[in-house]
Amino acid sequence: MIDLYYAPTPNGWKISIMLEELGLPYKVFPVDIRAGEQFKPEFLAISPNNRIPAIVDQAPADGGEPFSVFETGAILIYLADKTGRFLPKETRARSNVMQWLMWQMGGLGPMLGQHGHFALYAQEKIPYAIERYRDEAARLYRVLDVQLGKTRRYVAGDYSIADIACFPWTMTHKAQGFTLDDYPNVKRWYAEVRARPQVQAGLAIGKFEKKPFDEEARKNMFGQRAKELRS
Ligand SMILES: N[C@@H](CCC(=O)N[C@@H](CS)C(=O)NCC(=O)O)C(=O)O
């Protein structure tokens, strides 16, 4: 059994989708990040970066104590290694998937995250920041489009953790003012991945009650709370 510490966000969906794809039994532990539950000591013991998602594997392959993993890239690799699925073993194929997974973790996710923050959530609209992250996000969509034009189907060969990592962030395209008509290969891939029943099931997880998006939620989610905890 896998314990999934989770909220329904792009990073959370990566792991709910992966668990659905694998058909592994798992139990969802909702973490209301608007209410600041990511700062609870019990959660920090599992996820020291105070971010969701995180997992605890109650039955690790080595038969030892339950094992916790944070950071979505590390969780995807851990689950792929545990099950032997969605991450090839052969050196070149594995490296191709890893390259695009790292690209998502270091580029697509953080840049779309920052663009969403400055364009949609920040109360002060700073044109320089909005433009910088919009341009960078547009560049990354183009990189993905070129790659999908080469592979003709999935991000790095067969369907893999690279697709599972990239897909939930591209779901933000409309809200962030991008149109996939500008990226025809991404559009084709997006429709195909979205239609997978396991992806649909992963996206449906965790439609639970959460705190309204108010001043306190902003404080909990946008770093001020962490600043307070430091001082
Ligand atoms: N690099 C991390 C990012 C995780 C992340 O940013 N999670 C957000 C939700 S999508 C979060 O927990 N935010 C809570 C907060 O900012 O305090 C990962 O891939 O796991």
Tell me: the pLDDT tens digits for 100-152? Answer: 999 999 999 999 999 999 999 999 999 999 999 999 999 999 999 999 999 99
To test ligand 1's pocket by mutation, which of 13, 44, 51 has the most ligand atoms within 8 angstroms of CB? Answer: 51
Average pLDDT over residues 52-59: 98
Ligand 1 pocket list (CB less than 6 A): 9-11, 33, 38, 50-52, 71-72, 221
Tell me: the pLDDT tens digits for 59-114? Answer: 999 999 999 999 999 999 999 999 999 999 999 999 999 999 999 999 999 999 99
Other C-beta atoms closer than 10 Å to the C-beta of 114 total: 17
Distance CA 46, CA 28 (A): 14
Among 3.40.50.300, 3.40.190.10, 3.30.590.20, 1.20.1050.10, what is the CATH number of 91-201?
Answer: 1.20.1050.10
Which residue ranges make up each domain of the chain?
Answer: 2-85, 91-201
Distance CA 168, CA 202 (A): 10
pLDDT at 20 over 90: yes
d(CA 11, ligand 1 centre) in Å: 7
Taking CA atoms only, the protein residue closest to ligand 1 atom 11 is 51
d(CA 71, ligand 1 centre) in Å: 8
pTM for this entry:
0.95
Other C-beta atoms closer than 10 Å to the C-beta of 224 total: 11
Decide if 103 contacts 146 (C-beta within 8 A): no
State how far the alpha carbon of 50 is from the alpha carbons of 36, 42, 144, 224, in Å: 9, 11, 29, 13
Q: What is the DSSP string of 84-137?
A: T-SS-SSHHHHHHHHHHHHHIIIIIHHHHHHHHIIIII-SS--HHHHHHHHHHH
Tokens linked to 34: 């608007």
d(CA 12, ligand 1 centre) in Å: 8
CATH architecture observed for domain 2-85: 3-Layer(aba) Sandwich (3.40)
Angle at CA of residue 72, ends 58 and 65, nearest 5°: 20
* Predicted pLDDT of residue 230: 65
Tokens linked to 29: 């532990």
Tokens linked to 136: 């960078």
d(CA 139, ligand 1 centre) in Å: 23
pLDDT at 3 over 90: yes
